[in-house]
Each structure stands twice: as structure tokens, then as C-alpha cells.
A and B are shown apart, each in its own frame.
Chain A
Amino acid sequence: KAGVTQTPRYLIKTRGQQVTLSCSPISGHRSVSWYQQTPGQGLQFLFEYFSETQRNKGNFPGRFSGRQFSNSRSEMNVSTLELGDSALYLCASRSDPKPGELFFGEGSRLTVL
């Protein structure tokens, strides 16, 4: 079974630009969560999607948004990029009935210049 796939793996943007990251969950997993990982803050929860609906949202500004498609693939978008958005963005999928156990992708490393 293929794991969680994230694209692109690395990208460089400049302030003010926007970026879209993609995540394909493990086949059969309907839940996709996104996390921002930075050295100082660890992993911070962005949002979770389940069956195309946002199920949960973290404390991030509205510049961070996401969506999920009918095939469970998810995208997250960050608009008007700031230097502080430089981070590793991790996507994770999970399947019921094991609440909480997440399967992670390798991440998309975003650098904002």
C-alpha cells in the first residue's frame, strides 16, 4: 500500500506570493490533517478534512486555507506569504476506527525569501 505522498517536496517563494501544496493520503483513508513544523514551535495543527469537509481548524490566520477532493486528496494554500511561513508542512492521514493514529508524508519544505 502506497504511503502518504506530498508534492512538491521543496519550494522557494518570495514574500507576497501564494503557494499550493498537495497531499495524497493512504488509499482508503478519508481524513487528512495538515501541520506546520518549525524548529521553535514543533508541530502546530493547521486543519483536518474528512470527506471533503473541514472538520477542525487550528489557530492560523485566514491566509491558510485548504480543501479536500472526492478522492480524499487534499490541498492547502497559503496566500500573501510572509517570512515566518517558512516551515516544513506535513500532511497526515488516518483511518477510523483508530482515532488519532496518523500516517505522515515526508513533508513539503517551504522557504519564503
Chain B
Amino acid sequence: AQTVTQSQPEMSVQEAETVTLSCTYDTSENNYYLFWYKQPPSRQMILVIRQEAYKQQNATENRFSVNFQKAAKSFSLKISDSQLGDTAMYFCAFFGYGDDKIIFGKGTRLHILP
């Protein structure tokens, strides 16, 4: 069964700094998708960025980028020039065609400090 592990339960950084959230996963599939979702306090979860496993190029969305290491089964999220609005719970997630469902890690609570 696929698993997603986020080893950092909580992190704090100063505004404008760069922060990296870690995620590792385990799967026997070769084609899959990886995601980072953001859940702001008392607000709904939204997709931040996604990566297709067969694409070697790392995905980028404005200040958000990923470091996808397929062989190491690692998928970290980098937030550049962090802003107060980035304060949220961040979930790493995996979708595999075998299970055809998306599973989540336990999340990393990120605090951006003024």
C-alpha cells in the first residue's frame, strides 16, 4: 500500500524567508501524481502544486516550487519569499492509478512570523 510521510509536524519561519517542507512516499507504481495542498486556518483546503511522476522537470507555481526526486521517492515543497498568508497546514498527497485514490500525509503546520 502507498504511504506518505511528512516528518516535520510544525515549522516556523520569518516573513520573506525561504522554507522547505519535506515529504517522502512509498509506492511500487511507476506512473503517479504528487500534490501539495494548503489548508489555511478555518478555511478550505486548496491545491498548491502538482507533479506528474513521468515529468522530470520540477513543477513551479509562482513562489512555490517542488524538488521531485523519483528514485529517492522524495517530494519537497519550497516556498520562496514567504508571506503571512502562507501560514497554514500543508499536506503532501499521492495519487496512484493502481489504488485510484488520493492519500495524504499527516501534514506540516507552517507559521510565518512577522
Which A residues lie at the B interface, using CB under 8 A?
Answer: 3-4, 33, 35, 40-45, 48, 55-56, 90, 92, 99-107
- Stretch in B18-26, B65-73, B97-105 with 4+ CB within 8 Å of A: B97-105
Given contacts A42-B104, A56-B99, list 17 more A-B pairs with CB under 8 A.
Answer: A3-B44, A40-B106, A42-B91, A42-B105, A42-B107, A92-B45, A100-B93, A100-B102, A101-B47, A101-B50, A102-B45, A102-B102, A103-B47, A104-B37, A104-B46, A106-B44, A107-B44
For the residues of A in contact with B, the DSSP-based class is strand
Q: Identify which of B95, B97, B105 gathers the most chain A CB atoms within 10 Å of its CB.
A: B95
Bound CA span A3–B93, Å = 21
B residues near A105, Cβ cutoff 8 Å? 44
Bound CA span A29–B104, Å = 21
- Are the CB atoms of B47 and A102 closer together than 8 Å? yes
Q: B64 on the interface (CB 8 Å rule)? A: no
Given contacts A56-B99, A56-B101, A102-B102, contact A43 B47 (CB under 8 A): no
Bound CA span A4–B46, Å = 12
Which B residues lie at the A interface, using CB under 8 A?
Answer: 33, 35, 37, 43-47, 50, 91, 93, 95, 97, 99-107
Can you identify 12 A-B contacts, CB atoms within 8 angstroms?
A: A33-B101, A42-B91, A42-B105, A42-B107, A43-B107, A99-B33, A100-B35, A102-B45, A102-B47, A104-B37, A106-B43, A107-B44
Bound CA span A43–B106, Å = 7
- Are the CB atoms of A104 and B95 closer together than 8 Å? no
